[in-house]
Chain A
């Protein structure tokens, strides 16, 4: 808690807290990042499940993964900024807590995909990756809904 209180007192965080333009712009950037992340994740998962067959599997999955990783980094950075202005309050927000849990589960799910259902080169296998792809879609949609709920609790 002291650590979170210290974050709130950092000079850039204090400026962000009362800013008129910057905070809504960071908020908008967070939405862009989440939009890119969810789009790439869902398209990637659909392709793993066998949909979008017109797209050549390997290059398509590679491209979606690259976009997804970058979008996640952008979402993480902008999300930390939004969190920082009132960290000691958000940490008790049930929607925020559930969101973090779902992100952790999505991370474990990705790890499971890599360990149990991927080829040596990291490409998901044709058959066994389906479960992880379906779980991924559900988890990330859950993350999105939880994130939206933070402001309403």
Chain B
């Protein structure tokens, strides 16, 4: 017997609607929201989070607060960086890909350097030069 109204018919449009709304805001997950070229960011760490879904640093760059995203916690710790590795106030150089949105102060880092020590959180993405 054929149903007059299949919920599947409702599911298709709702997924399409969700994707349509979501598209401009894709951030965080993956690299689609980041610039292709890598750049450098230098500043003072104000906050350190090493945990799921991924680790982050809050960095003060000349009075502006930047969010520097690292890898998921296990991968970040494998790179040698844990929550006790550095303290707020430490100087950091972050190398990675900034947000495509110029107004958004957010970078996804592949490498961070603190006190002369280098932590490659995405080793296969570190530019070779």
Contact = CB atoms under 8 A, between A and B. Distances in A.
Interface of A: 16-20, 23, 39, 42-43, 46, 51-54, 85-86, 89, 141, 144-145, 148-149, 151-153
Nearest to B55: A18
A127 to B, nearest CB: 18
A152 B28 contact: yes
B28 A151 contact: yes
* Closest A-B pairs by Cβ, 6 of them: A17-B51, A51-B5, A23-B52, A20-B74, A18-B73, A152-B27
Contacts of A152: 22, 25-29
Interface of B: 1, 3-5, 7, 10, 14, 18, 21-22, 25-29, 49-53, 73-74, 77
A17 B49 CA distance: 10
A46 B7 contact: yes
A137 to B, nearest CB: 8
A140 to B, nearest CB: 11
Contacts of A53: 4
Contacts of A39: 7
B26 A145 contact: no
Contacts of B1: 54
Nearest to B2: A54
Contacts of B14: 141
B3 A51 contact: yes
Contacts of B73: 17-18, 20
Contacts of A17: 51-52, 73
Contact of B10 (A20, A42, A144): A42
A19 B53 CA distance: 10
B50 A23 contact: no
Contact of B52 (A18, A42, A145): A18
Contact of A16 (B10, B18, B27, B52): B52
B21 A43 contact: no
A43 B10 CA distance: 11
B25 A153 contact: yes
Nearest to B18: A145
B63 to A, nearest CB: 21
Nearest to A18: B73
Contacts of A145: 18, 21-22
Contacts of A89: 49
A19 B52 contact: yes
